[in-house]
Amino acid sequence: MGVSSNESLANLLKEERRFAPPAELAAAANVTAEDYKKAAADRMEFWAAKARRLTWDIAPTETLDWSNPPFAKWFADGKLNVAYNCVDRHVEAGHGDRVALHFEGEPGDSRTVTYAELRDEVSRAANALTELGVKAGDRVAIYLPMIPEAVIAMLACARIGAPHSVVFGGFSADALATRIADADARVVITADGGYRRGKPSALKPAVDEALTRPGTEEVRSVLVVRRTGQETAWTEGRDVWWHDVVPRQSEQHTPQAFDAEHPLFILYTSGTTGKPKGILHTTGGYLTQASYTHHAVFDLKPETDVYWCTADIGWVTGHSYIVYGPLSNGATQVLYEGTPDTPHQGRWWEIIQKYRVSILYTAPTAIRTCMKWGDDIPAKFDLSSLRLLGSVGEPINPEAWIWYRKHIGADRTPIVDTWWQTETGAIMISPLPGVTTTKPGSAQNPLPGISATVIDDEGNEVPNGSGGYLVLTEPWPSMLRTIWGDDQRYLDTYWSRFENRYFAGDGAKKDDDGDIWLLGRVDDVMLVSGHNISTTEVESALVSHPKVAEAAVVGASDPTTGQAIAAFVILRGSATEEEGLAEELRAHVAKELGPIAKPKRILPVAELPKTRSGKIMRRLLRDVAENRQLGDVTTLTDSTVMELIQSKLPAAP
Ligand code: 6R9
């Protein structure tokens, strides 16, 4: 849906709270305001300097080749090995005994992996893949639970130059087959199963089924990690146990240097419609920005911090902020297999207490779920080790931001709201914890070296105080290079809407200070009586009501107003669905945003449909609100959610 310039995305929400960086953090911050100045003075030299944070076999002499836009080459004459940068170099620098991974299994088993052990494991796995015939350039599909082997497998692929394609462990055989076929993968790395919600959940059967589908014939080996010990069907000659082939390999493996533009991975975006897009990332530029942003935004002090990103590795957040960013910086981190409420709703907080986690990176969906469960749950645990909190994946409603800071961060820790995408590879817009005075609900400023702005339909930059489309105006090192096998789709999807600018698909506004507020996907924008209204603003207004933990709004076609707002709300722990609640919430939204934004219908629900990375699938809610047959539900975490929601609605008229 278009956003007309005269009525661009309503800019209704007012949020006046401000939080200055803690003095102590600011004084010792990894990155200061100096980086903004350096990047503004010479963007190319700025990124060249950040590339020098990595160890190159051949140092690049050229920074950006933009002679064939939008097909970028960064550091093209340099060579490096990503796994060497993430593992070996820390061991060589004398940090072999430092813990890389504190693994916590859902059933309570745990395992510690030091950097020296990680180097040995990655080397053995690299040798095993080579024995299975994997060569540089061959694609490897990874379909694993959140266990150390997932990290090891990704690094082993990187080490031998075999691009990986990680597929969420929760995706169906169909989704897996499509991804294997599109990437033409030769090997699949999987497990018998993983633990989820207190029981073993099988993975291997989905691989077996996927490999019966057309387009997957080239898969010659399936490498299977034993995690749950459940009974597993076996195809002789194709299937091999990880424990049979990996441990017997030599722990010596010489990493080969690859061109900076060698493909590192393909990751399919949780596309809402159509064929999933295989987003291609390459080596040098990707690692430069993943590494620098992790260092800058999370202020990681590798000697003392314990970092935990709760994402699944099947999401880009797991790639950049569990594997490549943190490990390139020598971080000690927690890796947790399971769900936040198994065996109890305090499991995450218990893990933070156990490992003394100091930096936590999670998604608004998780924060809102914890709000729903109640403040008393985190209050039972010692969270005093935390010094920095991050958010990613969706706009964070100001009230959820405040709750996060107060109940998890003891009203003390800065929050970094990080905007980025699978396509951007790394964080693009975010506060810097030692520099930025934060505003709840805003990602605020492009990072040093990044150029972003908000424009209107005609492509003109909007003035402060107005809304429009978020665009990126200069190429960046970790940008996608193309859509795997489909350059034309790359051009059409991202570079054709506005000339020479990358269109992110998100609505945004600039406040009076010029800071950026994300307003949700442009496709979700609602058009009510000629006004474009952002889903994010209405949802944030609903969440600012003390009885609401989470909300999703959609525009459903309406004979009088074009679209009318339908709101699905999840109530907070103690609130009940009493008479008059809908009227109360409608009045609250009218007071916060104005009468135009008042939802026509309000439906309390127990759950909302979400993707595996926690994004609300408004498209499905729109189907419900318009009494249509549901569209594609294959990327939903839990498909029963939709049945529950539909059962709450009056039958179709
Ligand atoms: C990293 C990731 C990308 C889309 C993006 C936007 C939304 C992510 C956000 C945010 C507002 C933030 N998004 N972070 N919206 N504030 N801090 O999520 O990648 O799964 O590809 O999704 O997520 O809509 O365009 P991906």
Tell me the per-residue pLDDT of 202-248, one tens digit each, with 9 for 90 and over: 999 999 999 999 999 999 999 999 999 999 999 999 999 999 999 99
- Name which residue leads in pLDDT, 650 or 284: 284
Average pLDDT over residues 164-179: 94
Q: How far apart are CA 452 and CA 170, in angstroms?
A: 34
Q: What is the pLDDT confidence band of residue 4, given thresholds at 50, 70 and 90? A: very low
Q: How far is the CA of 110 from the centre of ligand 1 (A)?
A: 31
Name residue 334's beta-bridge partners.
102, 308
Whether residue 599 is preceded by a cis peptide bond, meaning omega within 30 degrees of 0, is no
Mark out the alpha helices in 161-248 (DSSP H runs).
173-183, 204-210, 242-245
CA-closest residue to ligand 1 atom 1: 421
User: Does residue 352 surpass a pLDDT of 60?
Assistant: yes
Q: How far is the CA of 610 from the centre of ligand 1 (A)?
A: 14
Does the structure's ipTM exceed the value 0.95?
Answer: yes
Q: Ligand 1, residue 269: give the atom nearest the CA.
A: 21
Q: Ligand 1, residue 417: give the atom nearest the CA.
A: 17
Binding site members for CoA: 196-199, 317, 529
Q: How far apart are CA 410 and CA 408, in angstroms?
A: 6
For Cα atoms 626, 627, 630, give the angle at the middle one, nearest 5 degrees: 100
Average pLDDT over residues 448-455: 98
Pocket of ligand 1 (CB under 6 A): 269, 316-317, 392-395, 417-422, 443, 504-506, 518, 521, 613
Q: Which of 167, 164, 138 is nearest to 152 (CA)?
A: 164
For 580-599, the pLDDT digits (tens) are 999 999 999 999 999 999 99
596 CB-contact burial (10 Å; exposed 0-12 / middle 13-18 / buried 19+):
middle
pLDDT recorded at residue 338: 94
Average pLDDT over residues 314-329: 98
pTM of the model: 0.95
pLDDT recorded at residue 12: 72
- The letter for the amino acid at 166 is V
pLDDT recorded at residue 108: 95
User: Does residue 5 surpass a pLDDT of 60?
Assistant: no
Assign 293 to helix, strand or coil: helix
Residue 403: C-alpha distances to residues 22, 97, 215, 325 (Å): 18, 37, 48, 27
Mean pLDDT in the chain? Answer: 94
Q: Which of 425, 452, 431 is nearest to 297 (CA)?
A: 431
pLDDT recorded at residue 9: 61
Q: Give the rounded percent of residues in the chain with a pLDDT score beyond 70.
A: 97
Best substitution site from 266, 421, 493 to test ligand 1's pocket, by max atoms within 8 Å of Cβ? 421
